[in-house]
Amino acid sequence: MTDIDVLVLGAGAAGLMCAIEAGKRGLSVLVIDHAKRPAEKIRISGGGRCNFTNLHTTPANFLSQNPRFCVSALKRYTPQHFLKLVEAHRIPWHEKTLGQLFCDNAAMDIIHMLLREAEAAGVKLWMETSFTAVSKPDDRFSVATSRGALRTRALVVATGGPSIPKMGATGIGYEIAKQFGLAVVPPRPALVPLTFSDDNKILCTKLAGVSVDAVVSFGKTRFREGLLFTHRGLSGPSVLQISSYWREGQPITVDLLPQADVFAALKAGKTSHGKQDVRTALAGLLPKRLAEELSAAHGFGGRLADQPDKVLQKTGSAINSWQLLPAGTEGYRTAEVTLGGVDTTALSSRSMEANDVPGLHFIGEVVDVTGHLGGFNFQWAWASGHAAGQAVLG
């Protein structure tokens, strides 16, 4: 029976950060993970370049039933702290857009950095190690693993969410939470493409590959970023962002040309280029394929001069405030994150420890804190991992 101070379940972003901080404090730390290699999600993140943080991180960039829960950890471990670590390891980086920081070379740079830090802090890492049962028979936790039984004074659950199951993602963290009496906010796929089953699916399929700058809204929430038509529906940053807010059975609104008032432009065209066809006018405003397919789908056409204002208004609305009813999402198969998770009301925002189970901590994506697209989810993983690593057994 191996006896340790801190056992971390999950060698992802949050688990490794926690292990490093706890190890630096002189605690004996073991990280176990059933995957072949650590931090696989870091490896594939940001298109292989890992959008490792966002300079403009604020609590407003996170969704949670308790929006204040993330404040303390984010305040104590900021994007600048992580950037300092990246620079100390001489990892070249750049700001892509909107405060999003990426590696110049590869996401592996971040993984190597974390593994070097973990080694320096004396952290042990067991990969390809599964665990079957967790219990707390006395003041310690017992964990049955494929490498034998472990006894630990503190247990940190950093197993992430079930997004991308083919990479080894599971919802085991929720099971552990429930076992110890903690509530779990129902998880759902987030930052995920939206799918359609009506005529819009046919339209999206025809337009697959076309992308535009768009404003996508759901209720009062709106994002202006890229939108991409796919064979199944809609994707691209603006759609992924809104997917975290969207709820089944409700429509989203898309402005395919936020920089222009299409009705006003067509009305002006009616006077200045009356002989011009509506489709030609639209092709001057939108990508040609998009203008053609929208015109075909909605039956737009004919000389501008012949169009009553009412018709032009309808045409403008179809482009500036296109209402669509998604049938669903692509699900966990492609979702970048999982919304919901361990209910924060049962956790300390300072240490991520369960209020009623001393020594049990939850960090990273398994917790009901989910970031917007743009490096915020890693910043939460670093900040929550850091908070737990600093406080565990303190």
Residue choice 57, 72, 163, 241 for contact with ligand FAD (CB under 6 A)? 163
CB of 215 to ligand FAD, least distance (A): 23
Should residue 140 be labelled a site residue for ligand FAD when binding is judged by CB under 6 A? no
Cβ atoms of residues 255 and 214 within 8 Å: yes
Give start and end residues of each alpha helix (H) in 130-198. Answer: 172-179
Cβ atoms of residues 131 and 139 within 8 Å: no
Q: Which residue is it, tokens 């004074």?
A: 153
Q: In the bound complex, which residue of the shown chain has the CB atom lying closest to ligand FAD?
A: 12
Should residue 193 be labelled a site residue for ligand FAD when binding is judged by CB under 6 A? no
Residues in 96-135 at the binding interface with ligand FAD, rule: CB under 6 A: 130-131
Burial 190-222 (b: 16+ CB within 10 A, else e): bbbbbbbeeebeebbebbeebebebbbbbeeeb
CB of 377 to ligand FAD, least distance (A): 3
Should residue 187 be labelled a site residue for ligand FAD when binding is judged by CB under 6 A? no
Should residue 157 be labelled a site residue for ligand FAD when binding is judged by CB under 6 A? no
214/254 Cα distance (integer angstroms): 7
CB of 197 to ligand FAD, least distance (A): 25
Should residue 315 be labelled a site residue for ligand FAD when binding is judged by CB under 6 A? no
Residues in 4-33 at the binding interface with ligand FAD, rule: CB under 6 A: 10-15, 33
276/155 Cα distance (integer angstroms): 70
Among the residue ranges 43-51, 231-239, 256-264, 320-328, the one whose residues contact ligand FAD (CB under 6 A): 43-51
Should residue 285 be labelled a site residue for ligand FAD when binding is judged by CB under 6 A? no
Task: Specify the DSSP class assigned to residue 378.
Answer: H
Give start and end residues of each alpha helix (H) in the chain. Answer: 13-24, 40-44, 71-76, 79-88, 108-120, 172-179, 199-206, 237-243, 262-272, 278-283, 288-298, 309-320, 376-391
63/139 Cα distance (integer angstroms): 34
Residue 34 or residue 270: which is nearer to ligand FAD going by CB?
Answer: 34
Residue choice 7, 27, 45, 187 for contact with ligand FAD (CB under 6 A)? 45
Q: Are strands 328-329 and 148-157 parallel, antiparallel or unpaired?
A: unpaired
Q: Are strands 184-190 and 337-342 parallel, antiparallel or unpaired?
A: antiparallel
CB of 187 to ligand FAD, least distance (A): 13
Residue choice 19, 22, 27, 50 for contact with ligand FAD (CB under 6 A)? 50
Residue choice 111, 169, 177, 342 for contact with ligand FAD (CB under 6 A)? 169
Should residue 342 be labelled a site residue for ligand FAD when binding is judged by CB under 6 A? no
Should residue 386 be labelled a site residue for ligand FAD when binding is judged by CB under 6 A? no
Residue choice 255, 343, 353, 365 for contact with ligand FAD (CB under 6 A)? 365
- Could you give the 3-state DSSP secondary structure of residue 198? coil
Residue 50 or residue 74: which is nearer to ligand FAD going by CB?
Answer: 50
Residue 101 or residue 212: which is nearer to ligand FAD going by CB?
Answer: 101
What's the half-sphere exposure (Cβ side, CA atoms, 13 Å) at 375? 26
Residue choice 86, 377, 383, 386 for contact with ligand FAD (CB under 6 A)? 377
344/354 Cα distance (integer angstroms): 9
CB of 80 to ligand FAD, least distance (A): 16
CB of 334 to ligand FAD, least distance (A): 8
Torsion of CA 117, 123, 128, 133, to 10 degrees: -140
Site string for ligand FAD, 262-281 (x = CB under 6 A): --------------------
- Helix axis angle for 288-298 and 309-320, nearest 10°, is 120
Binding footprint of ligand FAD, residue count (CB under 6 A): 36
180/189 Cα distance (integer angstroms): 24
CB of 7 to ligand FAD, least distance (A): 11
> Where does this chain bind ligand FAD (CB under 6 A)?
10-15, 33-35, 40-41, 44-46, 50-51, 130-131, 158-160, 163-164, 168-170, 172, 336-337, 364-365, 375-378, 381
